[in-house]
Structure 1
C-alpha cells in the first residue's frame, strides 16, 4: 500500500468525531424523536409517521443537489472539509428547534413540527453528505478504508449516546418534572458538543484522493452516471432494507420498555447506553472479521443472525426482560460491525463507479446512498407510527391496551426481523469482492479503466 494512502490514528479519530456529531441527530431521530412527538409533543402516532415519510421525500431533491455542489466545490481546504465549518452552527441550532414545543394551536403545532423537522433535515444533509464524501477522499486503499470505517463506527456511538441514552436522564436532572424543557436544553448542550466535533474533524483530516478532472456542475449528467453503476443500485436496496430494520428496532425501544416491560427511564437508559458500548465493540470487530472473511458473505450471515435473534426476543416472557436485554446487546454488537462493513462497501462502489465510467462523483454517490438510508429511516419511522396507530396506541397514556402492547412487541422483534432477512438476501447480488476491488484500485492508480 502506498504510504500516501496510510492514515494516522489521529486522522482516523478526528474523522470519526464528525460522524459522532452527525449521530446526535441521526440516532435521536431513530430512537427518541418518535417518542417525543407522540408522548411529549402530543402528535397522534399516524400523523407522526406520515410526517416522517413526507418530509424525508424532500431529500430526493436536496441530497443529489448537495452531492453535486460538494463535488463541484474547490477550495484550498478541499471539496468536502469546508462544509463542516460552514454548516456546524446551523446544525447545532436545528437540534434545539426540532425539540422545542411552541404555544400554538394543535394545527399550528403540526405546522411548526413539520417546519422544524425540514430545517433539521436540510442541515443534516448539508453537513453529512460532505462529511461522508470526505471518507472516500482520505484514502483509496480498500483495507485502509475498512480500518477507517471501523474506527468511525467505534467512535460514532458516543454521539449516538448523547442523542439517545443520555438525553432523558439529563433532561430529568436539569428540569425535574418538566421533561419537555429538559430535552430542549439537553439538545442545546449536545448541539454545541457536535459543533466542536465537526471543527476537530475539519482540523485533523486531509483530502488526498482527487477527481480525474474538474467539470462544471451538472446534476442530471451525474445522476445518469450514477445509475450506470449496478453495484450502487444493489447497495441501495441493501441500505434501504437495513435502515428500515434499524429504525423499527431503535424507535421501538422506548415504547417497548415503557409499554411491554412496564419499566421507566432508568431501564431505557440501560438499554440505550448498553447498545452504545455494544455497538462500539462490534465496530472494533469489523476490521479483523472483514479482513479475514469475504465482506459479502459476512454481511449476509450477520443480517440473517440479527433477524433470528429478533424473532427469539418475541417469545421471551416479559418477567425475563434481562434475557431480552442481553439478546438486544448481542444484536447491537453485530449491527455495530454491520455498519462498518456497509460504509466500506459504499466506498468500494464509488471506486468501481469511477473505474467503470471514468468520472469520480464521490459527492453524488454518497448523497444517493445517504438519500436511500434516510428514505429507510423515513419508511421505518412511518411504519412505526402506522403500526402504533393500527394497534390503538394512545399518545401520552401511561396505560395501554393489550392490542397496543402486542403491536409494540412486534415492532421491537418480528417486524424488523423481516427487513433484516430482506437485507441479507439483497447483498447476495453484490459483486465487489476484495480481490476484484484490489484490481480496480490498481487500475485507477495506473490510469486504467473498464474500457481502456
Structure 2
C-alpha cells in the first residue's frame, strides 16, 4: 500500500514526464513558421511603412510619425485584451493554437490594405493610413503574436526544450525578416516598374499568401500539453498574476525600451541608405545581411548553457552597442558600414530573442507567487504590448528628431537633416541598449531561484492531481 507521500512523489514524476517532453522536429519547425510568417509581414510594415507614408503616399514625416505613435499606443492597449482572450479560450485545439487558423487570412488582407495608396487627400488620407495600420500592425498582428509567445509554456515544461523551441522560433523570425529586408524593395521595383504604389501592393499580396500557408502549417503541427488552468480566468485574476511578479516587470520594462531601438534601427535604415549613403537600393543589402543574426540565435542554447539567460542577453546588448558605435567611425565606406552593421545585428538578435524565452519562466513565477497561471495575459503584455508600445516610440522619436532638423522627403538634405538621420541610426540604439542592460542586472537573483520555483510547482501540480483522483 502506497503512502500519501509516495503517491505524491509518483504524481510529481508523472507531471514532470508528461509536461517536460522532447519536442519533435516537425513541431519545432511549425513553431519557427509562426514567427517566420509574422515577420514576413510585420517587418515589412516596421521597415517600410514610414518610408511608404512619406515617399509614396505623400504624408509629411511629422504626420506619419504621429500616426505610428497613436496607432501603437492603441495597439499596446489591445495586447492585454488579447492575452485575456487567450486565457478565456478553450477549444479542442487548445488555448493558443486556434488563433493561427483564425487570424492568418485577416492578417494578410490587412497588411495588403496598409500598403495600398488610394487617391485620398487631407484628413481622409490620414484616417485611412491610421485605420489600416492599426488593423495590420496592431490589432490583428497582436492577436497572432500573443498566442505565439503564450503557447511556449504549454508546449513543454522542460527549460532546455523551451530554449530550443524559442531558438527555432527566433531562427524562423530571422529568416522571415531576411526575406522581406532583402527582397521587398527589389520586388517593389520589379513589379511596380517605376510605380511604387503598384509594387508594394504586389509584394504584400505575395508575402501574405506565403504567411497564411506557414500559419496553417503551424496550426496543424503544434500541440499544447502543459495547460494548468482548465477554466477561464477572469480578467481581474489575470491582473493578480502580476502582483509581486518582479521578474515579469523587469522584462516588460526592458523589452519596451529595447523595442524603441529595434524599431528605430529598422525604420531608419532606408533613410540612411538613401540620403546618407546616397543609394536607396543599398537598403536591401543593408537589411539582407540581417540573416546572419540567425547564426547568433542558433548559438543561444550554448551560450545559456555556459553562462545563464540574463548574461546571454547582456552579451547581446554589449555586442549590439559595439557594432552600432563602429558605424559612427567608418564614414561612408559601405563595406565597413555593412561589417559594423553585421556585428550590431548579431548582438541585437541575441538580445531580442532572450525575453521571449524568459517570459515563460515569469509565467511559472507568477503561478508560484500567486497561485494563478495567466500564460496568455502575462506573455501578451510581455511580448505584444512591449513590441507595439516600443515600436511606436521607435517610429515617433526619430520622426520628431528628423522633422526638427528640417527633413523633407525626396529632397537634398541639409547637414542638420543628415546629422539627425545619423544620430537616429547610430547613437540612439546605443543609448537604449545601455539603459536596457542596466535594468536587466536586476534579473539575476530571480533567475537563480528558478529551480526552486519549478520544483515547488511540480509538487503543487502533483498534489492537486492526486486530490482530484481521490475525489
Fold shared, TM-score > 0.5 on shorter chain? yes
1:294 alignment partner in structure 2 = 308
Q: Is the 8 A contact 1:231 1:430 kept in 2?
A: yes
Shift of 1:283: 0.7
Report the secondary structure of 2:103's partner residue. helix
Deviation at 1:442, TM superposition (A): 2.3
- Report the alpha carbon displacement of residue 386 of structure 1 after superposing the two structures with TM: 0.8
Distance 2:448 2:75 in 1: 35
Match of 2:326 among 304, 309, 312: 312
In 2, Cα distance between equivalents of 1:435 and 1:416: 29
Shift of 1:60: 4.1
Map residues 243-258 of structure 1 onto 2, 5 A cutoff. Answer: 243-258=259-274
TM-score by length of 2: 0.91
**2:44 aligned partner:** 28
Query: What does 1:186-265 correspond to in 2, within 5 Å?
Result: 186-215=203-232, 217-265=233-281
Q: Deviations over 1:236-272 (max 9, x none)?
A: 111012111111111111111111111231x211111
TM-score, normalised by the number of residues in structure 1: 0.94
Which residue is equivalent to 1:272? 287
Superposition map of 1:129-168 within 5 A = 129-168=146-185
1:358 aligns with 2:371: yes
* In 1, Cα distance between equivalents of 2:355 and 2:41: 20
Cα offset, 1:29, TM superposition: 2.8
Q: Which shows bigger deviation, 189-198 or 106-115?
A: 106-115
Q: Give the counterpart of 1:414 among 414, 417, 427.
A: 427
Aligned counterpart in structure 2 of residue 67 of structure 1, from 58, 73, 83: 83
Q: Does 1:375 align with 2:392?
A: no
Tell me the equivalent position of 1:93.
Answer: 109
Matched residue, 1:9: 25
8 Å contact kept, 1:248–1:411: yes
The alignment partner of 1:91 has SS state of helix
Query: How big is the shift at 1:408?
Result: 0.7
Among 252, 275, 297, which residue is 1:283 paired with? 297
- RMSD of aligned C-alpha atoms? 1.7
Unaligned runs of 5+ in 2: 1-15, 463-471
Deviation, 1:106, is 2.5
Contact map agreement 1:52 1:381 (CA 8 A) in 2: yes
Structure 1 range deviating more: 197-206 or 165-174: 165-174
Whose radius of gyration is greater, 1 or 2? 2
Deviation at residue 44 of structure 1 after TM alignment: 1.0
Q: Distance in 1 between matches of 2:121 and 2:95?
A: 44
| Contact 1:309–1:331 under 8 Å retained in 2 | yes
User: In terms of mean alpha carbon deviation, does 68-77 or 124-133 score higher?
Assistant: 124-133
Deviates more, 1:119-128 or 1:425-434: 425-434
CA distance in 2, matches of 1:355, 1:162: 41
How many aligned residue pairs are there? 444
1:398-424 Cα offsets, whole Å, 9 max, x none, are x21111111111111011110010011
Aligned in 2, Cα 1:245/1:60: closer, same or farther, shift over 3 Å? closer
Residues of 2 paired with 1:189 and 1:254: CA distance?
A: 22
Write the mapping of 1:398-437 to structure 2, written as runs, cut at 5 A: 399-431=412-444, 435-437=448-450
| Corresponding residue number in structure 1 for 2:190 | 173
In 1, the alpha carbon distance for the partners of 2:239 and 2:446 equals 25
* Contact 2:243–2:370 (CA under 8 A) maintained in structure 1: no
SS of residue in 2 equivalent to 1:140: coil
1:49 pairs, out of 62, 65, 75, with 65
Q: Is the 8 A contact 1:84 1:199 kept in 2?
A: yes
Q: Is the Cα–Cα contact under 8 Å of residues 150 and 337 in structure 1 kept in the other structure?
A: no
* Alignment partners' CA distance in 1, 2:288 and 2:430: 22
How far is the alpha carbon of 1:96 from its aligned partner?
0.3
Q: 1:316·1:323 contact (CA, 8 Å) conserved in 2?
A: yes
Partner of 1:57, secondary structure, is: helix
Could you give the per-residue CA deviations for residues 189-231 of structure 1, whole angstroms, max 9, x where no partner exists? 101110111000011110011124424x422331232243111
Distance in 1, Cα, partners of 2:446 & 2:337: 35
Question: For residue 444 of structure 1, what is the aligned residue in structure 2?
Answer: 457
1:8 Cα deviation after fit: 1.3
Residue 235 of structure 1 and its aligned partner are, at CA, apart by 0.6
| Matched residue, 1:387 | 401
